[in-house]
Amino acid sequence: MREAGSDQQRNRKRFARRQWARRWLTWRYLLAALALVGLLGFGAYAVFFSAWLRVADVEVLGEEQLTRDPILQAAAVPTGEQLALVDLDAIAVRVRSLATVETVEVTRRWPDGVRIEVVERTPIAVIARGAGGYTQLDDEGVTFGRVDDVPEDLPRIRTGPGADRAAISEAAAVVSALDPAVSELVDDVEVATVDRIRLRLSDDREVRWGSADASEEKARVLLAFLNAEEAGDAEPARVYDVSVPGRPTTRG
């Protein structure tokens, strides 16, 4: 009888242990779920409501012609707002409205910063402004910025009464196609119309360019003329006509 009683007692203990193990497993899952919910709740609070992750600093990179202040003014970053809620695309659109800015990238810099990285337009020429001074021109014909005098390394674009916005873009395409060695010799790019463009070199020589079509080929022809003159293989000319690059002419 003692052995039977002992077996029953052992069975009851084993059963109790199994019951406890099952209950503990259920509680463990429940506790893990509660911990996960708490962690998610704390994370949501920290990201969207707490003062820890609010915008407190704005970093600007890439500015050279511009200064930091006009970029910050255009960006209008909402300092004090939750970093996760800041509209980065809207900031980029506002900064891109600055004529000098070609491209911009805006990113979050955790825990409390916004980074604005700009790429500015590269001037290839200048054009006179009505109010005095000059505005710069990039290779796409976009005008931006302001300078008081013509930089030594940039040609000046002069426009006639018939020159419109398209003609200025054509002039930009011409300047972009020039070899650097030739570009340094160019003082003025005279634009009468889209198909009547002339270059005035620093020693008052003239290059009749025509339109911007085939500008790269025209630039190679002009460079060949100038190299031949420098090597003594051709007589110096005062006028070069490369408007038809397959049949260029010169006049002394």
Secondary structure of the chain as H, E, C letters: CHHHHHHHHHHHHHHHHHHHHHHHHHHHHHHHHHHHHHHHHHHHHHHHCCCCCECCEEEEECCCCCCHHHHHHHHCCCCCCEHHHCCHHHHHHHHHCCCCEEEEEEEEECCCEEEEEEEECCCCEEEECCCCCEEEECCCCCEEEEECCCCCCCCEEEECCCCCHHHHHHHHHHHHHCCHHHHCCEEEEEEEECCEEEEEECCCCEEEEECCCCHHHHHHHHHHHHHHHHCCCCCCCCEEECCCCCCCEEEC
Q: Before 111, cis peptide (omega within 30)?
A: yes
Is the dihedral angle over the CA atoms 19, 24, 29, 34 positive or is it negative?
positive
Residue 229 is predicted with a pLDDT of 93
Residue 53 is predicted with a pLDDT of 80
Residue 31 is predicted with a pLDDT of 58
User: Phi and psi (nearest 5°) for 108?
Assistant: -80, 140
- pLDDT tens series, the chain, 252 aa: 445 556 566 656 565 566 555 665 665 655 565 555 555 554 554 445 555 688 999 999 999 999 999 999 999 999 999 998 999 999 999 999 999 999 999 999 999 999 999 999 999 999 988 778 999 999 999 999 989 999 988 999 998 887 788 888 999 999 999 988 888 899 999 999 889 999 999 889 999 999 999 999 999 999 999 999 999 999 999 999 999 999 999 998
Residue 45 is predicted with a pLDDT of 47
Residue 108 is predicted with a pLDDT of 96
What is the fold, at CATH topology level, of the domain defined by 57-120? Ubiquitin-like (UB roll) (3.10.20)
Give me the architecture of the 125-251 domain, per CATH. Answer: 3-Layer(aba) Sandwich (3.40)
